[in-house]
Structure 1
């Protein structure tokens, strides 16, 4: 028996439609400029490595959200060649600098170049598109509006709104219900292996993993660009 024809598409937001890495680098460059320096590739890479390391510590319960942010700023100051300032910066100063980073990061939000064209093409094919994202309601809705995605989607469903996170099957199924479409006819696409591929497949949706960096690109369930979705529907 052949697979049902795709009647709707669910897309992830962060690192699928929204380019978090580029947005963060632009915001960091502005923060570093305000600190009287110029961002170089080594410092940008160190900022990202530090984030991954500290996320691990935070998930392990070793540090809380506030300490995560303060340590990122102290590491940044050290990476900018200011070890004494990094050692003596108090919590209030670190908090101010991280808050400023978040401000300029938001001002630099950018979507991937293929995001709007793909959404527009799906819209022209009369395929409803929904966004399903593990994130806070207000911020994720703001991203969708700021990136010009809102006119092309049927709605945005966040983990905060649903009370559950991907890969919980209830999240995908809730969106399918809202779209009025059987899960087997709803294609789910996103960058995360667990949340956007395995989780969706387990919930009964066909799914594709978007691997823009071609890190593990292999097999029929992976694509390297969002526009490749158009050849799958």
Structure 2
């Protein structure tokens, strides 16, 4: 191996914990309701549906944020604002708390240090917006370890398109066969990466797998 490519959300960056913390603080101020498991599941469902619509080119990035609110506010008994400007103002409250809660997984920096000590090039490939994903890496203290950040927005391709993996390898200056992909999503980070010619490992955190198990010292 000459390089390793990491997914970002729920691989290096703990998106689930950050959103959970955000909703726990945001919902009482918005609707006077406390976060429940059911509301958390509902948020992630509308988040994924609207995010997928953005990846498919059906919504602008800000549009998918507005879509989340249009879908979620009725769930908590709140009226949907009539204008985009009002929706943006509501979402700004969520976003402010979300950015304050950004955190890396405890094993993220140690794994990056091992990869660096191996002499490997290090990339991040993420289905996300370039500005926000780079901001996450900077805020959680990992940006200095990364040689190339590739996003669906910057590439023009999203995982699982083979071009997403191949262009990231190209940015790192390595062949796909010399590159390991690691991520939490089995289909996007493992199956599709292998189909594009990379090696790939599944970061199955619920099963107790850690990044340090998947990034061996050589």
TM-score normalised according to structure 1 size: 0.77
Secondary structure at the aligned position of 2:70 is classed as helix
Equivalent-residue separation in structure 1 for 2:51 and 2:132 (angstroms) = 20
Q: Does structure 2 conserve the Cα–Cα contact (< 8 Å) formed by 1:12 and 1:133? A: yes
Structure 1 equivalent of residue 100 of structure 2? 107
| Equivalent residue in structure 1 for 2:35, among 32, 39, 48 | 39
In terms of Rg, which structure is larger?
1
CA gap of 1:180–1:57, structure 2 versus 1, over 3 A, is closer
Distance 1:56 1:141, change over 3 A: closer
Distance 1:30 1:7, change over 3 A: same
How far does residue 24 in structure 1 lie from its aligned partner after superposition?
A: 0.4
Q: Structure 1: how far apart are the matches of 2:132 and 2:150?
A: 12
- The unaligned stretches of length 5 or more in structure 2 are none
- RMSD of equivalent CA atoms: 2.7
User: What is the match of residue 70 of structure 1?
Assistant: 70
Aligned to 1:139: 132
- 1:102-149 Cα deviation digits (max 9, x unpaired): 221122111111111111121122222111111111111111111111
Answer yes or no: is the 8 Å Cα contact 2:114–2:217 preserved in 1.
Answer: no
Q: Answer yes or no: is 1:154 the counterpart of 2:147.
A: yes
Cα separation, 1, equivalents of 2:39 and 2:153: 33
Q: 2-side partners of 1:52 and 1:134: how far apart?
A: 12
Whether 1:229 and 2:214 are equivalent positions in the alignment is: yes
Number of matched pairs? 208
Cα distance change of structure 1 residues 179 and 89 upon mapping to structure 2, 3 Å threshold: closer
Partner of 2:12: 17
Q: Distance in 2 between matches of 1:210 and 1:142?
A: 23
Counterparts of residues 168-183 of structure 1 (less than 5 Å): 168-183=161-176
- The structure-2 alpha-carbon separation of the partners of 1:97 and 1:135, relative to structure 1 and needing over 3 Å to count, comes to same
Say whether 1:90 aligns with 2:81. yes
Instruction: Please report the TM-score for the alignment, with normalisation by the length of structure 2.
Output: 0.82
Corresponding position of 1:207: 200
1:192 positional shift: 1.6
Per-residue Cα deviation, 1:164-210 (whole angstroms, up to 9, x for no partner): 11222222122222222221111011112222111111111111121
Structure 2 CA distance for partners of 1:41 and 1:208, relative to 1, 3 Å: same
Structure 1 unaligned regions, length at least 5: 1-5, 79-85, 215-222
Instruction: Give the whole-Å Cα distance in 2 for the aligned partners of 1:52 and 1:190.
Output: 17
Structure-2 change in CA distance of 1:186 and 1:89 (3 Å):
closer
